[in-house]
Structure 1
Amino acid sequence: MRYEVGIGTRTEGFELPQEDVIEVMHANPVASGPTGEKVVRASLAAPIGTPRLRELVRPGQTVCVITSDVTRPLPTATVLPPVMDELHAAGVRDEDVLLAIALGSHRPQTEDELRAIMGPYYGRLRVLNGDSRGLRHFGTTSHGTPVDVLAEVAEADVRVALGNVEYHYFAGYSGGAKAIMPGCSTFAAIQANHSLMVDPAAHSGNMESPVRLDLEEACTMVGLDFIVNVVLDEEKNVVYSAAGDFVAAQRDACRNLDELYGCELHEYADVVVVSQGGAPKDLNLYQLQKALDNAKHPVKDGGVIVLVGSCAEGLGQDTFAKWMHEARTPRDVVDHLQRDFRLGGHKAAAIAQIELRCDVYLVSDMEPDQVRDCFMTPFAHVQDAVDAAMESQRRRLGREPRVLIMPHGGSTLPLMRT
C-alpha cells in the first residue's frame, strides 16, 4: 500500500505491505465547526481569567504584541487582525502598537518572512526583529534563571502574546509564557531555564513541567497581560483558540490539544516512519528533533526511526552542530551535557540519547557527511530509507517488522497503552 509524508514544501510517497503497518497516526477526529478568524474572535469575546482585551487597554497606552517567528506554525496573519480589532475598539492606534518577533535564540526574520507573518498589518506596525536597544533586568527566579527581557517589550504599557500550543519535549507544551521567556529574553536565561530539562518531570504532555513553571514564574515578574493561544489541525488551520490569562488560557488550550493529538497506541513498533509534516517545522535538524522525540516513545530498543525532514538550513544552531561534530559516539554527547550544560548542546544530547537505543535514518536535503556527523544514516528518498530499515529489522528479528507511520510527528504524541 502507498503512504505519504511531508518533507519541506513537497510530499514523498513510499510502499509498505498493509499488514505490516500498525497504524498511520493522525490527530483524533473532532466535530466540524468554525475555523480560522471566527474561532479567534470567539475566544476574544469570552476570555479566560481576564476581562476582554478591549477593557484592559486605554487610548494613548503603548501595546507590545509578541508573536512567533517562521520556525513556528502559528498563523499570525490569521490571529493578529482580530487582536488588532480589539485594540482598535479600545481606542489604540496602530502607531502605538509594537509587534515583537519572539526570536529566542533564532535568527532575525527576512522582509519576505515578516510580510508572511504580519499579513495585512505588514508596513502598518513597528516591528522588533532582533534589533533591540537593550535589556531590562527583573531579578532571578527561585531556580536561579535571570529574568532579562528586551527593553522595548518590558517598557510597553500592555503586553499581549500570540502563540500556538503543541507538545514540547521538555516544557510539556508550547504557548503561554514562552512568548516572553525565552522568546524575548537572553541566551543566558534560556540556558538556565533549559537546564531543568534533566528533571524526569520535564517531558512532553506534562502541564506542570518544571521548565514550564520556571518560565511562568519569570513571566509573572515581567507581567503578561493577555494571551491568545491557538490549536492547529494537521492542515495548520486554527480549530481552537483560548484567550485571556497567560496560565489559565494556556492550560485550556493544552487540554484541547490532548483531545486532538494525544493518540493511544497498544503496540510498540520495530520501525517508526516520522515526519514533521513539512515546512516550516522541518527547516533544520534543531527543529526536526521534536518529531524524533515523539517517535522515541513507541519504538522498541534496537529498532529504527526513519526521520523525514528537509533541513534546508542544515543543523540550525552552532553549539548543536559543534557538539555533534566533536563527538566520536552518541555517548560522548550525552556525557558532555552531564559535564557542562549548554543551550544547543541540550538538543544534541536529546538526539544522542535516542541513538543509544535505536538507529536513526534521516531523509533530508542535507549533505550526507553532515548527517553522518550526527550519527544518523543519510538517505535522499523515503522509500530507500524504509526499505533499508525493513531489511535491517528482518535480519535482526527473523520476521517481518511492525511499522508505525507518524506523518505529523511533532504534533501527535503516542500514549502507550500496552
Structure 2
Amino acid sequence: MKLEFGFGAGIQTVEVPDENVMEVLHANQVEHGLTGEDEVRRALLAPIGAPLLKDVVKPKEKIAIVTSDITRPMPTYVVMPPLLDALFEAGVRREDITLVFALGSHRKHTPAEMKKLAGARAYEEILCIDGDSSDCVHMGVTSRGTPVDIVRVVAEADRRICLGNIEYHYFAGYSGGAKAIMPGVSTREAIQSNHSQMVKPQACAGRLSGNPVREDIEEAGAICGIDYIVNVVLDENKKVIMAAAGDAVKAHREACRFLDGIYRKEIPRKADIVLVSQGGAPKDLNLYQTQKALDNAKHAVRKGGIIILIGSCKEGLGESVFEEWMTQSPDAPSMITRIQENFQLGGHKAAAIAMMLENADVFLVSELPDDLVRKIFLEPKTSAQEALNCAFERLGKDAKVLAMPYGGSTLPCVAD
C-alpha cells in the first residue's frame, strides 16, 4: 500500500506491505451541507445560545476580533467577509474594528503573513495587529489561581468576538472557544499557570467535563467576557465544513460534537509501528507544533513500539524554553522530574515528549540536523520510507502498522 504524508509544502511517500497495514486513520464521512463562507454565513444567521450578532453589537462600540496565529490552520480569511458583513449590517464602523492575532507564546507575524491570514479584504478594511503580551490589563484571577491578564486592545474593547478552528488538544481537550483568550491573548505567566494543570490525568485530548485546563480557560474567558464566537471545523483539505456561532461555551460544544463524528477513531488494538504526520504546513513549521501529532499517536502505539513522526520543522524547535529543555537536559527522564518540581511553559512540551519516550521509541523525519535530533533523544531518519524499513528491522517483518496522515486531528481510541 502506498501512503502519503504531508511534509511542509510537499509530501513523504511510503510503501507498506498490505499484510502489515492495520489501519489508516482518515476522517469519517459525515453529511454536511454548505461549505466555506456560505457555511459561516449560515452559522451567523442561526447562532447557538445567543441572539443574532446585530442584536449584540451596537454602532460606535469598539470591537476586538481575536483569531489564531500562523501556527494554526484557522482560515480567518474565510470567516472575516461574512463576519464583517454582519458587523457592518449592525452599524459598526470599520475604524472601530480591530483584528487581533492571538500569539500565545509564539512569534510575531510579518505584514505579508498578516495579510495572508486575514485575507485581502479584512487587511485593507480594518486594523490588523499582533497581540502584545507586554501591554496587558489585569482583569481578575480564576479559582485555580490563574491571573486573567489580557492584551489591552482586547481587554478594553466594548465587545470581544473569538474565532478559532476546532481540533483535539492534548491537554485542553479541544481547541477553540475561550482558548482564543487564554492562552491566545494572555501573558506568559498566565499561560504558565493555566498549563500547569496539564500534569493531571483529566487534562487530555477529547475531554471537556472535569478537564482542569479547559475549565480554567473558560473561567478566564468568562472573567474577561466573550460576547460571541465563530468556530469552524475543517476537513482534511482544510476546507470549512461546519461553523458554529454564538455563545462561547454552547456553540463551542456543538462544534466539538461535530468534530468527534469525523475525527474520533476507534481502533481494535494498539499497533507496533505508527506513522504520523501533522498533515504538512503550517502545522509542522517547528517541533513545538509537530509534537501535537506525536501526542495523539501515543494512544495508538503499544509499549515498546515505534512512532515515526513526519514533519518538516523547517523553523527549528520553535520556542526558546522548549529548546533549552530539549537540548540541555542530560536525559529524557530528567525532564519529567523537572516539570513535576517546577512547571515551565515550553518545558511542558519537552516533558510530554519525555513521557512519550517512556513507552515507545520515536524516529523523526524532518529538516532538522541529525546531531540536533539525537541530542533531543529522538532518532533521525532521512525519509519516511527509511524510517519504516528501520522499524521493521527492529521489530520484525510481521510488525503491524497504523498510519495517521493527519495526526494532529485524528484521535485514536482503543475499543473497549
TM range (shorter): over 0.9
Q: 1:127 to 1:133 in 2, by over 3 A?
A: farther
Q: Is the 8 A contact 1:13 1:383 kept in 2?
A: yes
| Structure 2 CA distance for aligned equivalents of residues 268 and 151 of structure 1 | 47
Aligned residue among 240, 243, 264 for 1:241: 243
Per the alignment, residue 165 of structure 1 pairs with: 166
Q: Is the 8 A contact 1:207 1:254 kept in 2?
A: no
The answer to whether structure 1 residue 70 and structure 2 residue 50 are counterparts is no
Per the alignment, residue 198 of structure 2 pairs with: 197
* Displacement of 1:133: 7.1
User: Which deviates the most, 130-139 or 224-233?
Assistant: 130-139
Alignment of 1:393-412 (within 5 A): 393-394=395-396, 400-412=398-410
Q: 1:168 to 1:58 in 2, by over 3 A?
A: same
Per the alignment, residue 352 of structure 2 pairs with: 350
Q: Is the 8 A contact 1:107 1:130 kept in 2?
A: no
* Displacement of 1:31: 2.2
Per the alignment, residue 10 of structure 1 pairs with: 10
| Structure 2 CA distance for aligned equivalents of residues 132 and 376 of structure 1 | 33
Per the alignment, residue 277 of structure 1 pairs with: 279
Q: Is the 8 A contact 1:276 1:309 kept in 2?
A: yes
User: Which deviates the most, 73-82 or 123-132?
Assistant: 123-132
Q: 1:373 to 1:37 in 2, by over 3 A?
A: same
Q: 1:133 to 1:6 in 2, by over 3 A?
A: closer
The answer to whether structure 1 residue 26 and structure 2 residue 17 are counterparts is no
Q: 1:66 to 1:375 in 2, by over 3 A?
A: same
Q: Is the 8 A contact 2:134 2:187 kept in 1?
A: no
| 2:13 counterpart SS class | strand
| Structure 1 CA distance for aligned equivalents of residues 230 and 78 of structure 2 | 12
**Which amino acid is 1:405 matched to?**
A
**Which amino acid is 1:155 matched to?**
E
| Structure 2 CA distance for aligned equivalents of residues 337 and 138 of structure 1 | 28
| Structure 2 CA distance for aligned equivalents of residues 108 and 364 of structure 1 | 24
Q: Is the 8 A contact 2:48 2:251 kept in 1?
A: yes
Q: Is the 8 A contact 2:133 2:185 kept in 1?
A: no
Aligned residue among 224, 227, 244 for 1:225: 227
**Root mean square deviation, CA, Å:** 1.1
| Structure 2 CA distance for aligned equivalents of residues 54 and 183 of structure 1 | 26
Q: What CA deviation, in whole Å up to 9, does each residue of 1:56-114 have, x standing for no partner?
A: 11111110011101100000000111111110100111111011110011111111111
Per the alignment, residue 90 of structure 2 pairs with: 90
**Which amino acid is 1:409 matched to?**
G
Per the alignment, residue 339 of structure 1 pairs with: 341
Q: Is the 8 A contact 1:266 1:417 kept in 2?
A: yes
* Displacement of 1:131: 4.2
Per the alignment, residue 56 of structure 1 pairs with: 56
Q: Is the 8 A contact 1:317 1:344 kept in 2?
A: yes
Q: Is the 8 A contact 2:271 2:300 kept in 1?
A: yes
Q: TM-score, length-normalised on structure 1?
A: 0.97
Q: TM-score, length-normalised on structure 2?
A: 0.98
**Which amino acid is 1:17 matched to?**
P
Q: Is the 8 A contact 1:3 1:14 kept in 2?
A: yes
Per the alignment, residue 208 of structure 2 pairs with: 207
The answer to whether structure 1 residue 117 and structure 2 residue 86 are counterparts is no
| Structure 1 CA distance for aligned equivalents of residues 137 and 129 of structure 2 | 15
| Structure 2 CA distance for aligned equivalents of residues 257 and 138 of structure 1 | 32
Per the alignment, residue 295 of structure 1 pairs with: 297
| Structure 2 CA distance for aligned equivalents of residues 417 and 125 of structure 1 | 49
* Displacement of 1:12: 1.4
Per the alignment, residue 148 of structure 1 pairs with: 149
Per the alignment, residue 321 of structure 2 pairs with: 319
Per the alignment, residue 368 of structure 2 pairs with: 366
> How many residue pairs align between the two structures?
414
**Which amino acid is 1:410 matched to?**
G
| Structure 1 CA distance for aligned equivalents of residues 153 and 133 of structure 2 | 7
* Displacement of 1:124: 2.0
Q: Is the 8 A contact 1:272 1:403 kept in 2?
A: yes
* Displacement of 1:130: 4.0
| 2:124 counterpart SS class | coil
Per the alignment, residue 309 of structure 1 pairs with: 311
Q: Is the 8 A contact 1:48 1:245 kept in 2?
A: yes
The answer to whether structure 1 residue 413 and structure 2 residue 414 are counterparts is no
| Structure 1 CA distance for aligned equivalents of residues 266 and 161 of structure 2 | 35
| Structure 2 CA distance for aligned equivalents of residues 117 and 392 of structure 1 | 43
| 1:147 counterpart SS class | strand
**Which amino acid is 2:367 matched to?**
D
